[in-house]
Amino acid sequence: MIRKKFRQMLLTQILSAMTVTICMMIDSIMIGRFLGVDSMAAYGLATPVLLVFAALGAMISAGIQVVCGKTMGSGDEKGTNACYTVSILLAMGIAAFALFLVFVVPDQLCMLLGAGSPEPGNQVFRLTRDYLMGFIVGAPAFLFAQIMVPYVQVTGQQNRLIAAVLVMTVTDVGLDLLNVFTFKGGMLGMGLASSISYYVALAIGLTYFLSRKCLFRFRIKSLSRKITADLLRNGIPTVINQVSLVLMVYLFNQILLGAGGKLPVAAYSVISTISNICYSFGSGIAAVALTLSSIFYGDEDRTSLYDLVRIMTSYAFVINLGVTVVVLLAAPLLVGLFLTNPDAKDLAVLGLRLFSLCLMPCSLNTTFKNFYQGTDRIPLTELISVLQNFALPVTYAFILSRFIGATGVWLAFLCGETTAFVILSCIVWHRNGKPAVSAEAYAMLKDEIGVPAKDCFEVTVRSREEVEKASLAVSEFCKARGEGERLSFYVALCVEELANNIVNYGFSKDNGDHSIDIRYVKKNGAHVLRIRDDCEHFDPLAYLELYSVEDPAAHIGIRMVMSMVKDARYINSLGLNNLSLTF
């Protein structure tokens, strides 16, 4: 079930990561080819503002993935609504500040960005201000679209998200073309084209958030200092990651200028643009790992976390191996889209090929970094970010460029990512007391998470026959651990009744390949049975309450189960039904 859900979420995350990059790349190509050098310079000067707001949006989004994942995994509805409310208020605050900055003090901002003074003959200044004003109109939609992604993911609304991403891309490209060839709106029009595309994507997402089916509720009363602090704390590693990348790019440019002048810098610009597309595959895998690890961590489900490590590493290896092969073969064609100078092209082709070799270790580092963020190892996440995105590659680039020029900078990607993974492995081995390559070792879960294997019963069933076997097995499990005859009978009966209902009514609604995960644990004196299935959304608690006034003999199975338990909680996360019963 986890592998299936990972695969379903992965395409959405890759497309989401790739689309923003593609839109920026298309904007860059359109501006450079049709609006001239001054417009391209203005776009470059305005880019830091775009990156800052992207980083702030990414910070909130990452915080949501962790905090909302944990609250939903533990069935904390109040905490989930608090996270939802806090994230919306944060996005509103940042958007309001952005609008104030650009519309109230635009000249000061442009001067700060290096566009010069607002003199009549300074075209770059005017174009920079025009683009910022067009783009910042979409700041609210830009930020809300970013925070919308994790909420849509955890509710299993992947199709809606894919539609929003694709429509946004098509809208942006179409409006760019109209602006250049029909409206002649210049840089203001280019900025507005991006803004409108973000509002279109947001509108598609809002069809869920404004519907009755939405799992989240905006409640000012649910505001919590703890949730706010947790959201920001779990989002900070993303900011550190972005800052590290910006510093690395700046220092790489300085090293390349000293090693060979403008040609290697131009080559690096092309490599950076193409690399952002390549990174989308690894960052998509890492984003899914962050969401799932947060949910399983909130549920204290060690088995699922170990399975997640196996799945995410295998996907990181296979997918990035394929991307590496494609880039190695297609490097001349890709570089040719951007450069015509033969010397610059040769430098960029070599650099791109050497860069592609780092994709696999980079994806592993990023995926584990997000996994550790989701399992509450924030310092380790921050350490990996600084090592892989700044300290190690810059150090290698500085040293190797002294001996082999620009080629040393290209090799710094591979050397830095590989060394970062070696350091991570050493940390894992030190914690385990010996070299180990197992999922259990690299997960590095805290000892207090979950329960020992002897106190946990887990099984996956796909038929009535398997349900019957699971019912008998969980009864024997309880008896073997000294539980009373009554409790053993209750747990077995609940498994049989609920799982058979899912097989009879859930499996039959479509021709899909469904399964049920049954998990029974004893922790801190509590006996908890969790039943998870991947069928159509169905809340038995709400259903029972809805029909409570009808014939008491109706729905006798669910009524009987509820009479046996002390507490019952239902939550739908990732499109999966999760029912937890406490005896």
Give the residue range(s) of CATH 3.30.565.10 domains in the chain.
453-582
Which of 395, 383, 393, 378 has its CA nearest to residue 423?
383
Q: Is the pLDDT of residue 438 over 80?
A: yes
* Per-residue pLDDT at 44: 73
Confirm or reject CATH 3.30.565.10 for domain 453-582, answering yes or no: yes
Residue 568, SS3 per DSSP: strand
133 neighbors 191 (Cβ within 8 angstroms): yes
User: Rounded CA gap, 65 and 149, in Å?
Assistant: 9
Total H helices, total E strands in the chain: 21, 5
User: Rounded CA gap, 248 and 268, in Å?
Assistant: 12
Tokens 């595959």 belong to 281
User: Rounded CA gap, 499 and 485, in Å?
Assistant: 21
Tokens 């003959």 belong to 121
The string of pLDDT tens digits covering residues 165-191 is 889 888 988 999 999 999 999 999 999
Query: DSSP readout, 22-88?
Result: HHHHHHHHHHHHHT-HHHHHHHHHHHHHHHHHHHHHHHHHHHHHHHHHHHHHTT-HHHHHHHHHHHH
CA 94, 198, 165, 575 torsion-angle sign: positive
User: Rounded CA gap, 241 and 252, in Å?
Assistant: 16
Q: Is the pLDDT of residue 548 over 60?
A: no
* Chain centroid, CA 198 distance in Å: 18
* Per-residue pLDDT at 519: 92
**pLDDT tier at 20 (50, 70, 90 boundaries)?**
low
* Per-residue pLDDT at 454: 78
* Per-residue pLDDT at 154: 80
On the CB side of 30, CA atoms within 13 Å amount to 25
* Per-residue pLDDT at 549: 53
Count CB-CB contacts under 10 A for residue 379: 9
Count CB-CB contacts under 10 A for residue 78: 14
Tokens 């909420």 belong to 151
Count CB-CB contacts under 10 A for residue 260: 18
| E strand or H helix that includes residue 567 | strand 567-573
Strand partners, 295: none
Residue 528, SS3 per DSSP: strand
Q: Is the pLDDT of residue 162 over 90?
A: no
186 φ/ψ sector (left φ>0, alpha ψ -120 to 50, else beta): left
DSSP state of 257: H
Most confident region among 162-166, 270-274, 367-371 by mean pLDDT: 367-371
* Per-residue pLDDT at 555: 65
116 φ/ψ sector (left φ>0, alpha ψ -120 to 50, else beta): left
Crossing angle of helices 139-154 and 158-178, rounded to 10°: 160
Which of 151, 191, 227, 256 has its CA nearest to residue 39?
191
User: Rounded CA gap, 367 and 390, in Å?
Assistant: 17
* Per-residue pLDDT at 73: 76
On the CB side of 470, CA atoms within 13 Å amount to 27
Q: Is the pLDDT of residue 142 over 80?
A: yes
51 neighbors 139 (Cβ within 8 angstroms): no
User: Rounded CA gap, 16 and 33, in Å?
Assistant: 26
**pLDDT tier at 575 (50, 70, 90 boundaries)?**
confident
Strand partners, 579: 531, 570
Residue 269, SS3 per DSSP: helix
Tokens 């869920």 belong to 208
Of residues 419 and 511, more confidently modeled: 419
- Averaged over 553-569, what is the pLDDT? 79
The string of pLDDT tens digits covering residues 200-215 is 999 998 988 988 888 8
The string of pLDDT tens digits covering residues 247-268 is 888 788 888 888 777 778 778 8
For 261-281, b/e burial (b = at least 16 CB within 10 A) is eebbbbbbbbbebbbbbbbbb
User: Rounded CA gap, 452 and 36, in Å?
Assistant: 65
Give me the long-range contacts of 302-305 (CB less than 8 A, separation at least 24).
302/445, 302/449, 302/450, 302/451, 303/450, 303/456, 303/458, 303/519, 304/2, 305/375, 305/443, 305/445
* Per-residue pLDDT at 513: 84
Question: Taking all residues of the chain, what is their mean pLDDT, rounded to a whole number?
Answer: 87
Hey, what are 352's tokens?
Answer: 């791109």
* Per-residue pLDDT at 550: 57
Q: Is the pLDDT of residue 307 over 60?
A: yes
Residue 459, SS3 per DSSP: strand
For 38-49, b/e burial (b = at least 16 CB within 10 A) is bbbbbbbbbeeb
CA Rg value for the chain: 26
Hey, what are 358's tokens?
Answer: 């780092």
| Percentage, residues of the chain above pLDDT 90 | 43
